[in-house]
Amino acid sequence: MSEKAQANRRTGQWGLIAAAIAVGFPALALRWINASSDGIDLAPGAQSLIFGAGIVGAAFLLAWASEVAQLDISQGLALAVVALIAVLPEYSVDFYLAWRAGQDPSGPFVHYAAANMTGANRLLIGLGWSSVALVYWIRRHRGLALERPISLEIVALFAATVIAFIFPFFREIVLWAAAILILIFVLYLWLHSKGGAEPEELVGPAAAIAGVGKAGRRAIVVALALYAASVIVMAAKPFADGLIETGKVLNLDEFLLIQWIAPLASEAPEMLVALLLAVRGNGSGALILLVSAQVNQWSLLVGSLPVVYSISLGQVSGLPLDNRQVWEVLLTAAQSLFAVVLLLRLRLGPLAALFILALFTTQLVISHELVRHIFSFIYIGLAVVLVAVDLGRVRQFLHMARSVAMLASGRRVPEARIET
């Protein structure tokens, strides 16, 4: 590539960063104006669009900044941190909903608090995993086979999924189980920190940031992270409120808007980063990034919701789940269980990806409560069938669990491999 072409590319990369910054500015400006004067009244749809765009722009900035962070910390920990930072927009919306629920326990926000979480988790698997595998197959003409260690992600996701099955029976996200989920996340990060430093080649805006030198990139990463975090904190409330009011104005189900539109806005950058990795041929990195995000959301995010609710409520309490949310949580946990069992063979082919996508889109389009019930048992049944016809998956999981236990004790064993 000529020097002129390289210069044009760098200019374009910095242009993307500038655009992401600019998209977030109206959200900050409007919150400042509304706090310092009589404010500006916006239509609910416009409010959702402006503040939702701010969250998307901030999420892109966080994703690029966190990618650069892997130049200074271990690759394993970097992947975990990237996934954690990338889902911060999701945390902000969920925390706001949980806080409002605590302020008015008999109000509608109690019903919304878990909606965003269930939609985000199902979106990552149903759309994220499947899209990455299909894009990789289109580019490479072969199924996606994981080429990196993933034992820790699989074991952590399985443990968090098992805990999630408890909530429907108690009809709330109980505090003791939430504490276990938070502990799972802490252990997950701690074990990831034991990895060696093997940074990957960066592309796009992340490469532009990394190219300014060690001191420069660190300063830029900190500045972008602080700016993006400010936008997300300022935009979470009006974005969520705007979605709810939009549903009322248009006579749409507010629960579904919170469940699907909010996660689409907050997780679009994360899934785009994964898709770009898949296009470049790094299917393993793409899928592991999404699996790591799944671990983050099932452990730290879900575990934190009753904590936020309790603080807002002024007393220790689990986060209540109504009948609709009970089935939503069960469906989300069932999908996660199926996905974990499917991934135990360390590969995700195009047929499996299409099957995941078909199951997801079907239960997404048909939102009747009975369909939620049916699909919950379909996912669980499929997981049982996969294990029954292939007991090697159980041996694979036990080997992964042993690998994690050995890592925790300071020893290492060979990473799990596909049995023949």
In a domain, 19, yes or no: yes
Query: To the nearest whole number, what is the mean pLDDT of the chain?
Result: 83
Per-residue pLDDT at 335? 96
Residues 212-259 pLDDT 10s: 888 888 888 888 888 888 888 788 778 888 888 887 777 778 788 888
In a domain, 413, yes or no: no
Three-state secondary-structure class, residue 182: helix
Instruction: Please tell me which of 2-11, 126-135, 208-217 the model is most confident about, judged by mean pLDDT.
Output: 126-135
User: Confidence class of residue 22 from pLDDT cuts 50, 70 and 90?
Assistant: very high
Per-residue pLDDT at 83? 56
In a domain, 419, yes or no: no
In Å, how far from its chain's centre is CA 105?
27
Specify the range with the lowest mean pLDDT, choosing from 68-82, 114-128, 173-187. Answer: 68-82
Q: What's 201's domain CATH number?
A: 1.20.1420.30
pLDDT at 16 over 80: yes
Q: What is the mean pLDDT of residues 90-95?
A: 81
Q: What is the mean pLDDT of residues 59-74?
A: 75
Per-residue pLDDT at 132? 94
Tokens for 258? 């919170």
pLDDT at 91 over 60: yes
Q: What residues make up the domain containing 173?
A: 3-408
In a domain, 420, yes or no: no
**Pairwise CA distance, residues 420 & 418, whole Å:** 6
pLDDT above 90 as % of the chain: 33
Q: Phi and psi of 405, rounded to 5°?
A: -65, -40
Specify the range with the lowest mean pLDDT, choosing from 8-17, 70-79, 92-101. Answer: 70-79
pLDDT at 204 over 80: no
The secondary structure of 361-388 as a DSSP string is: HHHHH---HHHHHHHHHHHHHHHHHHHH
SS (H, E, C) 147-175: CCCCHHHHHHHHHHHHHHCHHHHHCEECH
Q: What is the pTM of this model?
A: 0.83
CB 243 within 8 A of CB 97: no
Q: What is the mean pLDDT of residues 26-47?
A: 75
In a domain, 415, yes or no: no
The total domain count for the chain is 1
pLDDT at 403 over 70: yes
User: Confidence class of residue 134 from pLDDT cuts 50, 70 and 90?
Assistant: very high
Residues 274-315 pLDDT 10s: 887 788 788 888 898 889 888 988 998 899 999 999 999 999
Per-residue pLDDT at 420? 40
Tokens for 136? 């990789």
Q: Where do runs of H (alpha helix) occur along 213-253?
A: 214-249
In a domain, 234, yes or no: yes
In a domain, 204, yes or no: yes
pLDDT at 365 over 80: no
Strands 172-173 and 319-320: antiparallel
pLDDT at 201 over 80: no
User: Confidence class of residue 137 from pLDDT cuts 50, 70 and 90?
Assistant: very high
In a domain, 354, yes or no: yes
